[in-house]
Amino acid sequence: DAGITQSPRHKVTETGTPVTLRCHQTENHRYMYWYRQDPGHGLRLIHYSYGVKDTDKGEVSDGYSVSRSKTEDFLLTLESATSSQTSVYFCAAERLGGDGYTFGSGTRLTVV
Amino acid sequence: EDKVVQSPLSLVVHEGDTVTLNCSYEVTNFRSLLWYKQEKKAPTFLFMLTSSGIEKKSGRLSSILDKKELFSILNITATQTGDSAVYLCAVEDRDDKIIFGKGTRLHILP
């Protein structure tokens, strides 16, 4: 297991407020990913990181930014939350042995 | 544009039946194809396939990849109610991006 912890597990916030979600891993993995999961869309990649300070955009990156100042932490920030960003957010990191990926338990974000 | 298409979107069968789930893809610079099972929370890893024609097997689940025809299947034999879940297919490219399909929702009736 990649030892992934996401925080918070649940959050309700108001439109226009900034929100930061944290993903913490304990296995020194290089690659980490942020996804959002919505009904009818499956998992969609927001941003990913291939090392400290090395990040790139995924398919739904608008309205989101990320930072990776340490190997173990990958932060997802919504600068000004909108109702369309209500979703479940999953973080993932590469599995030990490089044969797949392990996901965190998810963060359920509601923007009201 | 890279895409992963799963079919069927949902499936209801009786316990003991065998099911086949399909995943087709169009991805530039393919590296691997991944299958996940998602019950209530986070997806859990099932298989990773990189080579064509080599079956991966775990208990009643098996999967195979056809890189020429750009698809994979996931088979579940002698299904049980505990197999009820959403099954996700994902493809990884050589730029380390992973694209997911929308999933197949499988419901096993007792």
B88 neighbourhood in chain A, CB within 8 Å: 42-43
Q: Which residues contact B25 (CB under 8 A, 6 or more apart)?
A: B2, B3, B4, B5, B33, B70, B71, B72, B89, B91, B99
Angstroms from A41 CA to nearest CA on chain B = 5
Show residues of chain A in contact with B95, CB under 8 Å.
56
Please count the other Cβ atoms lying within 10 Å of the Cβ belonging to residue B66.
14
Measured distance CA(A63)–CA(B84) in Å, rounded: 35
- Nearest CA-CA distance, residue B40 and chain A, Å: 10
Lowest mean pLDDT segment, chosen from B2-6, B11-15, B49-53: B49-53
Helix intervals (H) in B1-110: none
**Which two three-digit tokens encode residue A8?**
């918070």
Residues contacting A56, CB < 8 A, separation 6+: A47, A48, A49, A50, B95, B97
Gap from A14 CA to chain B (nearest CA, Å): 25
Report the pLDDT value the prediction gives residue A1, as an integer from 0 to 100: 47
What's the angle, vertex CA A31, arms to CA A27 and CA A32, rounded to 5?
85
d(CA B65, CA B54): 7
The answer, for A42 touching chain B at a CB cutoff of 8 Å, is: yes
A1 interfaces chain B, CB cutoff of 8 Å: no
Answer yes or no: do A42 and B100 touch at CB < 8 A. yes
Residue A105 contacts B, CB cutoff 8 Å: yes
- Residue-wise pLDDT tens digits, A1-44: 458 999 999 999 999 999 999 999 988 888 899 999 887 777 88
A4: nearest Cα among B35, B42, B48: B42
How far apart CA B64 and CA B78 sit, in angstroms, is 18
Beta-carbon neighbour count of residue B17 at 10 Å?
Answer: 14
Using one digit for the tens of pLDDT, what is the confidence trace for A64-99?
A: 999 999 999 999 999 999 999 999 999 998 776 666
Q: How many CB atoms lie within 10 A of CB B97?
A: 20
Say whether A42 and B102 touch across the interface (CB within 8 A): yes
